Amino acid sequence: MKRPFLIPLILCTVLAGCDTLDKVAEVGTSIGVSAGYITPDEAQSITKSVSAVGKVFESITPEQEYYIGRTVAATILSQNKPYDNRVMTTYLNTLGQYLALFSDRPETFGGYHFLIMDTPDINAFAAPGGLILVSRGMIGCCKTEDELAGVLAHEIGHVQLNHGLQAIDKSRLTAAATILGTEAAKNLGGKDLADLTKTFESSISDITSTVMNSGYARKFEFQADKAAVTILQRSGYSPNGLVSMLRQMEKNLKPGGHDFAKTHPAPQDRIAELAKTITTTPVQYGASMRQARFTETIRGL
């Protein structure tokens, strides 16, 4: 007689799905913090990771992702001026577009494109859909082309894994769905368009505040590093390029800086995590031809 009661209970749990999971995570982590088991930072990280399980972002088509990405990139560029140098930008795009061919997602709606930001801060951002911005400071951390390839491959990894879209609060997407309704209406009226634009603005700010201020959950950074190793191995670069770049970064990052010092796990933690993935014998490091063109191109940066 007990079984009939169990079935509705299980059904409820399944149907309630991720919302319940989120609440459980929130309650669980706040208990953890108050009991002193975990730090507030760790709690935030756990809550973020669990939220990602919802995968509501999958309702965003690559076309919509493209429009989100354009505005995210424009917003980041409003705070970080572009570095206008044709030779370096072409080099960066040649390397980056080559690497993107080896990702699990080489085709996005508008393709992968790369730009340098004119700042000594050590930063790089990947807007959804493949608009990737790398700072002068970050390129300055790289001593070889393989290291720069490591930086770009990590950012391509974020795009491939939809990390930007997953930073959007689920309530935005619910709101967008309500405005759009189930009808196949393409052209919205004044108020609906204004409401949808508000939702769009909030989605953009969810992403930009994550990538520029709070940073992704550590799990996402490690996932992007893992994707980068695959891309580097497939494309003929040494995956150790990423490791040696992280060592350079460790030397150059200033504590309290408003860049990777704030938004990313410590380089030594990423190196430790990478050691689990990189198990093969390193490819011959830095062919002389690559080194010559790298030095020649970034000279004067």
Partner 1 sequence: MKMKRLLCVIGAAGLMSAATLAPAATVMSVQVRKADIRETPSFLGKVVVSLAYGDKVAIQSENGAWLQVSVAGQSGWVHNSALTKKDIVMKSGAGAQTSASSGEMALAGKGFNSDVEAQFKAGHKDIDFTWVDKMEKIKIPAAQIQEFVKDGQLNAQGGVK
* Positions in the binding site for partner 1 (CB under 8 A): 60-64, 66-68, 70-71, 73-75, 77-78, 82, 89-90, 93-95, 97-98, 101-102, 104-111, 113-115, 131, 145, 176, 180, 184-188, 193-194, 196-197, 200-201, 203-204, 233-237, 283, 287, 289-290, 293
Angle at 115 between CA 112 and CA 120, to 5 degrees: 140
Q: Half-sphere exposure (CA, 13 Å, Cβ side) for 93?
A: 12
Instruction: Choose between 49 and 97: whose C-beta lies nearer to partner 1.
Output: 97
Instruction: Choose between 191 and 276: whose C-beta lies nearer to partner 1.
Output: 191
Measured from the CB of residue 130, what is the shortest distance to partner 1 in angstroms? 10
Measured from the CB of residue 279, what is the shortest distance to partner 1 in angstroms? 16
Measured from the CB of residue 131, what is the shortest distance to partner 1 in angstroms? 6
Q: Which two three-digit tokens encode residue 102? A: 């080896």
Q: In what order do the strands lie in the sheet with 124-127?
A: 113-117, 131-135, 124-127
Q: Half-sphere exposure (CA, 13 Å, Cβ side) for 107?
A: 0
Distance between CA 239 and CA 225 in Å, rounded? 10
Distance between CA 29 and CA 23 in Å, rounded? 10
Measured from the CB of residue 287, what is the shortest distance to partner 1 in angstroms? 4
Instruction: Choose between 268 and 280: whose C-beta lies nearer to partner 1.
Output: 280
Instruction: Choose between 197 and 268: whose C-beta lies nearer to partner 1.
Output: 197
Measured from the CB of residue 149, what is the shortest distance to partner 1 in angstroms? 9
Distance between CA 206 and CA 165 in Å, rounded? 9
Instruction: Choose between 16 and 185: whose C-beta lies nearer to partner 1.
Output: 185
Instruction: Choose between 159 and 271: whose C-beta lies nearer to partner 1.
Output: 159
Measured from the CB of residue 30, what is the shortest distance to partner 1 in angstroms? 33
Under a CB-based contact definition with an 8 Å cutoff, are residues 152 and 95 in contact?
yes
**Secondary structure letter of residue 213 according to DSSP:** I
Instruction: Choose between 77 and 266: whose C-beta lies nearer to partner 1.
Output: 77
Q: Which two three-digit tokens encode residue 288? A: 């002389």
Using a 10 angstrom Cβ sphere, with 0-12 exposed, 13-18 middle and 19 or more buried, the burial of residue 293 is middle
Distance between CA 160 and CA 100 in Å, rounded? 9
Measured from the CB of residue 26, what is the shortest distance to partner 1 in angstroms? 28
